């Protein structure tokens, strides 16, 4: 498998899916795992590495932001569950008093 970098897009692909003719237009960066395949003929392998790193950094920041939002939602749900459990205990106490107090 390899990451295909084209423009500002990043996707996982099988390196074998590139025909030999297509490989002439690619920079295959093998010192990463999975390897990176850079499709744009814009510059050297160093440029491809820099471009790929910037795309990966942006994707990582986006994922971190999403994870932060999910963490906040999870904390809110935990509070709501605690509140509902407390209400359930109160209702059980009231039911017990009504059943056995009468």
Question: 73 or 62: whose pLDDT is higher?
Answer: 73
Structure tokens at 81: 């569950």
> 6 has which bridge partners?
9
Neighbours of 38 (CB within 10 A): 23
| pLDDT (0 to 100) of residue 58 | 78
Q: Which helix (H) or strand (E) holds 4?
A: strand 2-6
> C-alpha angle 59/64/67, rounded to 5°?
125
For 77-86, what is the mean pLDDT?
Answer: 96
Does the pTM surpass 0.75? The reply is no
Q: Which helix (H) or strand (E) holds 9?
A: strand 9-13
Report how far residue 58's alpha carbon sits from residue 64's, in angstroms, rounded to the nearest whole number.
10
pLDDT-wise least confident of 3-7, 43-47, 63-67, 85-89: 3-7
Q: Which helix (H) or strand (E) holds 56?
A: helix 45-101
Residues 3/12, Cβ–Cβ less than 8 Å? yes
Over pLDDT 70: what percentage of the chain? Answer: 49
| pLDDT (0 to 100) of residue 11 | 52
Rounded mean pLDDT of the chain?
71
For the chain, give the longest Cα–Cα distance: 88
pLDDT in tens, 8-48: 555 555 555 554 444 444 555 555 555 555 555 555 667 76
| pLDDT (0 to 100) of residue 82 | 95
């Amino acid at each position: 498998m390899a990451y295909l970098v084209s423009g500002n897009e990043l996707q996982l692909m099988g390196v074998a899916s590139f025909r030999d003719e297509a490989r002439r237009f690619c920079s295959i960066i093998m010192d990463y795992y999975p390897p990176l395949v850079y499709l744009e003929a814009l510059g050297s392998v160093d440029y491809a590495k820099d471009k790929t790193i910037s795309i990966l950094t942006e994707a990582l920041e986006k994922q971190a932001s999403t994870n932060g939002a999910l963490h906040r939602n999870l904390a809110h749900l935990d509070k709501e569950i605690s509140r509902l459990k407390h209400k359930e205990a109160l209702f059980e106490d009231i039911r017990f008093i009504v059943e056995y107090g009468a």
